Structure 1
Amino acid sequence: IPLRSKFSRRFYEPILLEAALKETRPPVFSATQHEPNTMNDNADSAEQSFKCFVNRLAQVCDNIRGGNGATITSIAVLEEPEGIHYIVGANNRKLTELKNVEDYVKQLLKIFSKPIEQPTNTTLPVGREALWHILRFNKQRINYYLTGAVNHLEECIEDYDRRHVEIPLASDALRFRRQLSELKELLAFEKNGELNELHELQFFASCERVFLFIDDNQRLKLGDSISEQAREGKMDSSKPWLELRHFLGRLHSYHIAVKTMLRARRFWDRLWDDIKVTVIPSATAIPHPLNKKRPNASEIIGRMTSAEELLETYRSRAARLQELHLDEKILAECNSSSHTHTVHAEILVLDYVLRYLRDTEDAHFYSSWQYIGTCKPVCRLCNYYFMAHPSRVQVRESSNNLYPHWRVTDVFDESTMAETERHLQAVIVRTRADALRSLMSQTLQGRKYDSNSFSDMPPPFASLRTGTGTPSMSDITSRVSNLKIITEEDDRSAVGEREDE
């Protein structure tokens, strides 16, 4: 059964407003705002090591870039008397692909079940077999990262040589220039026809050499040197360096994934034997619940707060944004036929797991760690939903990115719907505060990339600066009923960029 019409409007309107606000002012990225925020696999506890393992397993299942994140994956690990049960779900994976994913995960876990002597050495037979199995499944995505790395590396080398043509290079600079040259040689296979299916083994071996080079040179501050070039360069020459670091980071992540899983193999023998893998179907994507409505900013704001003394301020700010077509962007956001709403993988897995645990005797989260791993940091709405959910199941940290075309799982009875609306009401409190914060502060929350994350902070509109008498942020948040905001999120901006799908 669908959400009640009035409740659906109450839930989606603040999200619509913030998404439209983002469209009125495209973000500008600076070098210092692109510092990577990658997953830390250097865990200092068994539980954290386990979470890293599940996240990395989910990462290597997200094999197709594009398609609005259709293969973004989440995984839960359950323990049952018969063995270990892996529950795998994705945003919008095709039904015809589910068996292939199941076979892939089973084979990957079977590879790691083999005896290993040096658990973290990815060049030994088990590590190499696992890596090549992963590369075969993720080839489309790997090809994209390789092409991006090659193209941006050429631009970076040209920029570096141009800026240092008359300046003698110090020892560190010479080492960095050699690193770039070596990397270019290692990536030459991308243009030499080795992507052909007939050369698959050469392709895997070439990828492995690139991954090992990146890993070895991280200790020689390759990534830091690339970031330094981005900071030192002019705006038009900074982007290639930032993109190069991103693409190298994504390629390196496959090497790290294998190392993380090898480490988990050393800790937990039980994770690899007597396994069962269930790949659950994705939920059906639906049109925007407000696609037949014609909401505008003034009406949305009026339904978000009853504080008369603030309404005028909020509406005045929104009115000034009409010259940037704010209302038109709101309508475009909810009326486009291409904007279908998707149940995100972590929500899909949570719903399935909780129902499964209710119906299955002696099944529980592995080692009682109530955790759902994801291939990327969770979006803002998923984060708010898990914070409000009484199960207290944990997920990865949030990228704080707002994906407006988000929905909850299908509901089939009135009692479940009432419970769902209670959870969503807690989300509404936060999204209303976010939208008002975005309206008043002219800042955006989130990161450019979810996977190798970069934050953005656009410059304020001088003509829309908060003036004398404008309510402070504490005034705004205090007017939203029962508002509870995590302190570390208060200073972040408000809508994120589309992630690297």
Structure 2
Amino acid sequence: MGKHLAKLLSQYVDLLLESNGTQQPLPVALEPGVVKRFYPPLLLLIVLTSMCPRRRLGEDPEFDALTGLEPLFRAFVSKIAYLCCTEVGSGAISACAVLQLPDCVQYVIGFNHQSSERHEAIQASIASILRMFSAAPPEHSAERENLRIQALHASLELCKSRVNGYLRSLKVHLQACTEACERESTQESKSTQNEISQILRLLEACFDACHSEPVNHFSVCDLITSLSSFFKSHIFVDVRRRVAREDSMMSTTYWSDFVHVAGRLLTYKRAVDLMDLVSEIWPQLFSDIQICMIPSSSTVVGVLPPNPWKAAQIMSKMTSDASLLDRFAAQLGSLSVHDIDAKVSELWRGAPLPKVHAEVLVHDWLERSEGGIRPERFFNRWKFIGSSKPPCKLCSYFFDEYPTDVQVRPSHQNAYFAWRMPDVYESQGEESSRKRMLVMESIKARIRADVVRILSEKLADGRPHDSSAYISLWRGTAPGPPGNAISLEATTQLLESHTLSKKHEQGSTDRESAKEVVKVLDENHEEELLFKGRSAVRKT
């Protein structure tokens, strides 16, 4: 009844605005030439990336890991974004910023592309989950453990569509892993197979008789607990070796796929454990709260000419230097076995419509709303936008090139065609239009540089999975300062045991807390840093 009344009221307001001649502001259109110069090189980059093996980037030795409470806060914000990503597909990818209002804490959440109806459902559910921790029972009590179980059930219910997909995918990969163990028939493979068979039995219990939809949250929780134990067991050392073998031989992927999907499921438990931990430090993040859902952007059409260009034609639009074009032609010729032009044409004709990605959408909303991106607007003055997955290559470039000091997660460096800059409106003035143009030109220059590098090296950026579950299993360590490696098991146990110093008062600064707080890395914990741009560290 309340929703129906709100809808009628909204329609009434729209009619009033219409009768008064009030119209929604129209965005300032980009010059067609700018658009046509931006998207063909991006499309070529994506095609070339699909043809070349990915280079493995080691951990950046220059990366200065944050200390104190801020890494814990960043991990928490990204976990909230993860819980808001409830469905399969790129449209559900979400981003979150946490603001400090005079009388409450505000969570600002945006998506790549979500309907207003879905916004309402997620808004209600995420608020309910957060408020569960507003009056947490005593630590180590049975009531506290029951709270965590209830929160995990609620999280799985909110994300059931995505969880269902993970469970179905996990079954396929586990069966392939079992068959691989059977083919080897060694003592080591038999031990691994026995453990995997136990996980498969728990997985079967998550499905109904038709093996279609998971119906039992208790069974899913049991599965997640089993996966957590498996990832910390000595048997998992064998799985790590198998993942490393797949990575080096670039043949099969079922072991790494199994680890990836299992890591996605484990993240729901990590999110709950993290909320439980954070509620001890910042209880205000769970009591007086407000959830603000940002409308998704519209898509744009006509960003490519109607008839597909050939790869050489795209390259000719990138430079007029004859010697460079000759070199590009030779490099393209060396990839002729892949029939680049056919792949360019295929992607060109079926290219998805560009939209503003979640991280950029949240940043744009912050900039255009009262208070902008001033530090005092953010909770604890931490200017950070978390996301359900690491930012894509273009989002990373945006935060590098745009004049902002708001931080995002390190990028997975995968590039996607369905990306665009946020709209600019006449009321924002000519300077905003000019700034958008300059940022697009800077991003375009970096796309061109990526194309040139891939043609030269025949190695692509990015990684097979664009999330960050157990990326560095082949090394068995989490990122950290040189000489201070953290084991996978120790990092996971850090959240589970809640070994965080409680000597901090609310609002502690990094300087005050740096010596007392155990470092907590983002999801994640085991992730190897694949890229460091200005988006990953404070701009200087």
TM range (shorter): 0.7 to 0.9
After TM superposition, list the pairs within 5 Å mapping 1:47-66 onto structure 2: 47-66=70-89
Comparing 353-362 with 93-102, which one deviates more in the overlay?
353-362
Matched with 2:226 is 213
Alpha-carbon distance between aligned partners in 1 of 2:308 and 2:154, rounded to the nearest angstrom: 50
Matched position secondary structure for 2:304: coil
Matched with 2:277 is 263
Alignment pair present for 1:329 and 2:343 = yes
Change (3 A) 1:34 1:321: closer
After TM superposition, list the pairs within 5 Å mapping 1:271-420 onto structure 2: 271-292=285-306, 294-319=308-333, 321=335, 324-336=338-350, 339-358=352-371, 364-413=377-426, 414-420=430-436
Matched with 2:3 is none
TM-score calculated relative to the size of structure 2:
0.74
Matched with 2:115 is 94
Alpha-carbon distance between aligned partners in 1 of 2:257 and 2:79, rounded to the nearest angstrom: 22
Identity of aligned residues (%): 26
Comparing 227-236 with 126-135, which one deviates more in the overlay?
227-236
Matched position secondary structure for 2:202: helix
- CA positional deviation for 1:360: 10
Return 5+ residue gaps in structure 2 as ranges: 1-27, 60-64, 472-528, 533-540
Alpha-carbon distance between aligned partners in 2 of 1:399 and 1:236, rounded to the nearest angstrom: 19
CA contact (8 A) 1:64 1:141 kept: yes
After TM superposition, list the pairs within 5 Å mapping 1:94-243 onto structure 2: 94-118=115-139, 124-164=145-185, 167=186, 169=187, 175-193=191-209, 200=215, 203-230=216-243, 238-243=252-257
Alpha-carbon distance between aligned partners in 2 of 1:270 and 1:343, rounded to the nearest angstrom: 31
CA contact (8 A) 1:347 1:382 kept: yes
- CA positional deviation for 1:253: 1.3
After TM superposition, list the pairs within 5 Å mapping 1:73-92 onto structure 2: 73-92=94-113
Give the residue type in structure 2 aligned to 1:345.
Answer: A
Alpha-carbon distance between aligned partners in 2 of 1:348 and 1:205, rounded to the nearest angstrom: 36
RMSD, aligned α-carbons = 3.4
- CA positional deviation for 1:318: 2.8
Matched with 1:428 is 444
Alpha-carbon distance between aligned partners in 1 of 2:233 and 2:66, rounded to the nearest angstrom: 22
- CA positional deviation for 1:73: 0.3
Matched with 1:2 is 29
Give the residue type in structure 1 aligned to 2:217.
Answer: F
Matched with 2:11 is none
Alpha-carbon distance between aligned partners in 2 of 1:378 and 1:77, rounded to the nearest angstrom: 18
CA contact (8 A) 1:447 1:453 kept: no
Change (3 A) 1:362 1:35: closer
Comparing 109-118 with 277-286, which one deviates more in the overlay?
109-118
Alpha-carbon distance between aligned partners in 2 of 1:266 and 1:364, rounded to the nearest angstrom: 23
- CA positional deviation for 1:448: 0.5
CA contact (8 A) 1:64 1:138 kept: yes
Return 5+ residue gaps in structure 1 as ranges: 37-41, 456-486, 491-501
- CA positional deviation for 1:409: 1.3
Matched position secondary structure for 1:225: helix
Matched with 1:461 is none
Matched position secondary structure for 1:406: coil
Alpha-carbon distance between aligned partners in 1 of 2:341 and 2:103, rounded to the nearest angstrom: 57
Change (3 A) 1:359 1:272: same
Comparing 313-322 with 435-444, which one deviates more in the overlay?
313-322
Of 424, 437, 442, the match for 2:458: 442
Matched with 1:474 is none
TM-score calculated relative to the size of structure 1:
0.79
CA contact (8 A) 1:13 1:300 kept: yes
Report the count of equivalent residues.
440
Matched with 1:17 is 44
CA deviations 1:34-80 (Å, max 9, x no partner) are: 999xxxxx9852000000000011011111113xx111000011001
Change (3 A) 1:5 1:238: closer
Alpha-carbon distance between aligned partners in 2 of 1:313 and 1:375, rounded to the nearest angstrom: 40
CA deviations 1:403-451 (Å, max 9, x no partner) are: 1221011222243211111222221221110011112222211111011
Alpha-carbon distance between aligned partners in 2 of 1:154 and 1:488, rounded to the nearest angstrom: 30
- CA positional deviation for 1:363: 6.3
Matched position secondary structure for 1:340: coil
- CA positional deviation for 1:399: 0.2
Alpha-carbon distance between aligned partners in 2 of 1:288 and 1:448, rounded to the nearest angstrom: 29
CA contact (8 A) 1:288 1:335 kept: no
CA deviations 1:259-304 (Å, max 9, x no partner) are: 1121111111111122111111110122251243543333332332
Matched position secondary structure for 1:281: coil
- CA positional deviation for 1:369: 0.6
Matched position secondary structure for 1:407: coil
CA contact (8 A) 2:454 2:460 kept: yes
- CA positional deviation for 1:157: 2.1
CA contact (8 A) 2:206 2:217 kept: no
Matched with 1:499 is none
- CA positional deviation for 1:362: 10
CA contact (8 A) 1:43 1:49 kept: no
Matched position secondary structure for 2:303: coil
Alpha-carbon distance between aligned partners in 1 of 2:357 and 2:120, rounded to the nearest angstrom: 20
Matched with 2:5 is none
Comparing 244-253 with 389-398, which one deviates more in the overlay?
244-253
Give the residue type in structure 1 aligned to 2:362.
Answer: V
Alpha-carbon distance between aligned partners in 2 of 1:360 and 1:313, rounded to the nearest angstrom: 45
Alignment pair present for 1:251 and 2:265 = yes
Change (3 A) 1:433 1:265: same
Give the residue type in structure 1 aligned to 2:357.
Answer: H
Alpha-carbon distance between aligned partners in 1 of 2:84 and 2:135, rounded to the nearest angstrom: 21
CA contact (8 A) 2:375 2:381 kept: no
